[in-house]
Amino acid sequence: MVGEPFFEEFGPTGEVQLVTSTLVDFGPALIGDRIERKLVVRNDGRGSFRVDSVEEGGVYDPAFRYQFEPFALDVGERKELVFYFEPSAPGDREAELTLLVSDGSIDELSVQLKGRAVEGGCLLSPEDALSLGSVALGTSFTKQLRIRNTSNLDWDVTVGEISSELDPGAFKFSNFEPGDYTVAANGELLVSIEFTPTHLGEHKAFLHIPAPSMCQPSIMELGGIGVDSVLECEPRVLATDPETGAERWVCRLDFGFVNPNSEAVASTRFRNLGNTDISITGFELSQPPGKGEPFGLETTEESFVVPAGGGEVELSLSFAPTLLGLQLGRLYYLSDDAKTGEGEVELMGTGGGPDIEV
């Protein structure tokens, strides 16, 4: 009595068929990927047999890999063999293997391996680091990392955790869970990251993308800057708060000395350090009591848009005193900034020259 070696193969309706020659088709695979397929050897005879070695046919393609150790199968036993397809160059690939059998009803089992290697593509946008810009304390800003699949084949990506030693908690996912995702052919995966500064100055963290290896960098740097306010006004001076005694920066426009019935024009500048445009509107002048209306706006525009990312807008004002002496006023304004919904510019000018006595 001898053993009868066969491969188990599934038929078109799912039934198991016993064959002595089979095809293992890996289908399309991305270059650099590793696809696994399994094949079962079965003893359907009345005795045992051994598989002593594997013979590679012709010029064997190293894209097909396997691990083999000699084995024996008794009556009814099965053995699972594992094959891998790891292409390093594009194109259709084929290879043949022969399992050499001893003490069986036949001397060999043949396996044909087949696969197609496809060039993959992964683009990260931005490419090197994700900057979330300047964000005011007490507010947050969300930005997306795009992971694009530029190939004609789906592939899986692993989005790991966000790590930071100095700024834990400043960066976190927004409506996104880390883990494994399938990116469709010519599709993309959007990873939303929220930055909430915890202190003034620079913040840094790292997003880990361990797989696939074609997605580089595998560690994406995240950066952001915490500021008091993303909407800045100049010129600025350091002044003492009359209520608390603490020093703070204020926006102050000083026209200097101007002779009565003359006019001086100067500008205040608004700068937007943030990530979104800011609208400024609702301008209202406060004049010095009992000294007429020396301060004026040199524009009829009712609103301005300060562009994001360091954009600036100048607003011209005038000082035309009719009386001598120091005169103080204010320009009030409104904005749609999340933190600085309203603000003011201190106005200062002196009617007459530096040697006047009032």
- For the cut 60, the answer to whether the pLDDT of residue 358 exceeds it is no
Among 118, 153, 174, the domain-final residue is: 118
Confidence of residue 246 (pLDDT cuts 50, 70, 90): confident
pLDDT value of position 356: 59
Beta bridge partners of 333: 343
What span, in angstroms and rounded, lies between the C-alpha atoms of 132 and 225?
A: 8
Q: Name the domain count of the chain.
A: 3
pLDDT value of position 276: 94
Name the DSSP letter for residue 349.
E
Name the DSSP letter for residue 104.
B
Tens of pLDDT, residue by residue over 291-349, are 999 999 999 889 999 999 999 999 999 999 999 999 999 999 999 998 889 999 999 99
Tens of pLDDT, residue by residue over 29-77, are 888 888 999 999 999 999 999 999 999 998 899 999 998 999 999 999 9
The answer to whether residue 133 is domain-embedded is: yes
Q: Based on the domain organization, do 276 and 214 belong to the same domain?
A: no
Q: Based on the domain organization, do 275 and 297 belong to the same domain?
A: yes
What is the span of the domain harbouring residue 91? Answer: 5-118
What span, in angstroms and rounded, lies between the C-alpha atoms of 332 and 235?
A: 15
Compute the mean pLDDT over every residue in the chain, rounded to the nearest whole number.
93
Strands 231-234 and 325-335: unpaired
Confidence of residue 24 (pLDDT cuts 50, 70, 90): very high
- 10 HSE (CA, 13 A, CB side): 6
**3-state SS assignment for residue 140:** coil
CATH code of the domain covering residue 53: 2.60.40.10
pTM: 0.71
Tens of pLDDT, residue by residue over 333-357, are 999 998 889 999 999 999 987 755 5
